[in-house]
Structure formats: structure tokens, C-alpha cells
Amino acid sequence: MITVRPPGPLTISQIGQAVSELSDVDEELATIARRHGPPPLWARPPGFATIVRIILEQQVSLKAAATIYRRLQLQVGRVTAARLALCHVDDLRAAGITGSKSSYIIGLAEAVREGRIDLPELPHLSDDQVRARLTNLRGIGPWTSDVYLLMVLRRPDIWPVGDLALAISVQRVKGLRKRPTDDRMLRMAKAWRPWRSVAARLLWQDYLAIQRKRA
């Protein structure tokens, strides 16, 4: 039986509680937990640089995004809004970033510098308020805002719509003939409330384990 989750950011101890409760309502998640144990917290630091990394991770692998981020650091130095706001798109393209993502990152930097978004305010807002603040910026959609909510603010009940790794993992663990659509995944994830973030972590954990085994 799933209980009402405690308020505040997700903690390691809460992950243990969530895994136990999710295992009671979903046998496939229980199997993942038995195989791998509780998933890591995978927390990221808040702020501008992390959002830049999440933008770079849009539609590419984490490994590829990490490589591009290191190139960006070599190109501009410390990744801050103050520095990036002074850059031209071509400066970022020289680091291997696409023109569109370069534009999004510079736009984010300008928004931070001009006060159009207050990143330190985000931890004090509701999930929907955070989404509204972030998706108001060009190039930041639901997936990017949800990953920030899940990984950085550590909100316990976030399901990142559009995540390819989760779709692949759900298809495999549920034995589906086709990769589930975003709408179908959202419907399936309702059973995992109020711990959808932990369900996502379990599925990511299984996905990464299989990728490592194949490698």
C-alpha cells in the first residue's frame, strides 16, 4: 500500500520506503529492486550550469552530452550566466553545440542576468510553478523542466515525459510489443504515485545495467 509521501526533497531513506511501497503494487519494479537494490539518489547541484547540461542532454546520450560540456568549459571557462550571456552562438558552436542549443543556452544566460528567471527561487515553488518558470524560456520544454525537478530539486513524484531511456525500459520490463507512447507511459505511471520519481530511478537503473552488460 502506498502512503502519503513526506514533504520536501527526496532523501536516501525515503527511497528505501518508496521502493518497498512500489514493490507492493508493481511486480516488475519489485523484480528490478531485488536484482539491483534501491536506486541511487542521482542528485545534481542546483543552478545555471546544471540546466545547461540538461539542455545538452536533450536527444543525445549522457556520455555525448558530458563530452560536449567539457568542450564548452574549455571554450568559455567556468560555465556561468554572466560569461555565457556575453557569448555569441558561434562561440558555443565551436565547442560542438548545435546552433539551436547554443541559442537556447545564451537565451537562458540572458534571462538569468536580466532577472527574468530567479533560479534560487525555484526550490521554494511548487512543481507546476517550477515548470511554468522554466518552460517559459525558449528551448526548455517539459522534459528539461521535469529532469530539473527530479534530479536537482529531488521532487518525489515527477515522471519525465518524453524520456527515451524510460520508454525503452518500460517496454522491456512490461513485455510490451511496441515502445509505449508518452500518453501511455503517463497512464501507467499513475499507479506509482506519489513515488513516480523513484519508479523512474528504478527503471533508469535497470536500463543502465543492461547497457553496461551489453557493452
User: Cα 52 from chain centroid?
Assistant: 12
- Position 50 scores a pLDDT of 98
- Position 4 scores a pLDDT of 54
Are the CB atoms for 170 and 162 separated by under 8 Å?
no
Provide the residue count of the chain. 215
For 90-158, give the DSSP string: HHHHTTT--HHHHHHHHHHHHHHHTTSS-GGGGGGS-HHHHHHHHHTSTT--HHHHHHIIIIIS--SS-
d(CA 104, CA 57): 13
- CATH no. for 48-152: 1.10.340.30
- Position 164 scores a pLDDT of 95
My answer on whether omega of the bond before 160 falls inside 30° of 0, hence cis, is no
Joined together, the cell numbers standing for residue 56 give: 545538452
- Position 2 scores a pLDDT of 53
Q: Which residues contact 27 (CB under 8 A, 6 or more apart)?
A: none
- Position 213 scores a pLDDT of 87
Domain ranges in the chain are 12-42+158-214, 48-152
Using DSSP's 3-state secondary structure scheme, residue 194 falls into: coil
Architecture of domain 12-42+158-214: Orthogonal Bundle (1.10)
**DSSP 8-state assignment for residue 203:** H
pTM: 0.93
**Low pLDDT (below 70) residues in the chain:** 1-7
d(CA 118, CA 32): 38
